Amino acid sequence: MNQPTGLRERKKHATHRTLAAAAVRLAAAHGLDHVTVEDIAGEAGVSPRTFFNYFASKEDAVLMPYPDTEERTRRSVERFLAMPAHLSALAALVTAIRPDIELVEADREEWLARMSVIEANPALVSRVMASQADSNRALVAAIAERTGQDAEKDLFPSLLFGAVANAMQVSVRRWHAVGGEEPLTEFIDQACAVLTAGLPDPGKH
């Protein structure tokens, strides 16, 4: 992940990350319902007022690990549209978003704890979906642009994105289930290989 270059932006980035990591750590240890904003701020060494400069709620602190979501989506779109023309849209999309997958691997313990908190609090799932809506739309629009489709009228862009997004979700859940003992990238590569093969019945490809 590209780091901010200015000192002020680097400090803001670091504070966001510290608060997010503290929120996940406390929620995983004590249960989200038993953690307060004051607890998270104290764990991160800042005031509750500072916390609210970064997050609207403790749930957002758990679910928003990085402050540059829009920028990372923009970079993913740029990578995707710049992929060689001989690559299928599926292969290009998986390759374009791989840096975000590798970021999860780099922050392995934090993400495993985050997944545990989400699984223990199903109401967070709808918040995850809402938080990803803008990024999802941007990637669907990019698929439409690369393939000459209309994102509003044609099914392919949304279907492809949905297939890849679900492959990612299944892979992350499996990775979490095994405690991160196997690389997340291997689960995702396996899932995308099955998609590329057209979802044949097991043992028939």
Residues 161, 180 within the same domain? yes
What pLDDT is attached to residue 204?
66
Is the model's pLDDT at 5 over the cut of 70? no
What pLDDT is attached to residue 107?
93
What pLDDT is attached to residue 201?
87
User: What CATH number is given to the structural domain containing 81?
Assistant: 1.10.357.10
Residues spanned by the domain of 201 = 68-205
Q: Which residue has the tokens 């003992």?
A: 181
What pLDDT is attached to residue 111?
97
Reported as a single tens digit per residue, the pLDDT across 6-54 is 888 899 999 999 999 999 999 999 999 999 999 999 999 999 999 999 9
What pLDDT is attached to residue 108?
95
d(CA 22, CA 13): 14
d(CA 73, CA 1): 11
Reported as a single tens digit per residue, the pLDDT across 111-130 is 999 999 999 999 999 999 99
Residues 49, 128 within the same domain? no
What pLDDT is attached to residue 202?
84
Residues 7, 48 within the same domain? yes
Residues 74, 141 within the same domain? yes
User: What CATH number is given to the structural domain containing 13?
Assistant: 1.10.10.60
Residues 99, 140 within the same domain? yes
Residues 90, 178 within the same domain? yes
Domain total in the chain: 2
Reported as a single tens digit per residue, the pLDDT across 85-116 is 999 999 999 999 999 999 999 999 999 999 99
Residues 127, 152 within the same domain? yes
What pLDDT is attached to residue 23?
98
What pLDDT is attached to residue 174?
97
d(CA 18, CA 32): 17
End-to-end CA distance of the chain: 36
Residues 54, 83 within the same domain? no
Residues 101, 143 within the same domain? yes
What pLDDT is attached to residue 200?
87
Domain-terminating residue out of 62, 81, 108: 62
Distances (CA, A) of 83 to 80, 87, 91: 5, 7, 9
What pLDDT is attached to residue 8?
87
Residues 103, 130 within the same domain? yes
Average pLDDT over the chain, rounded to whole? 94
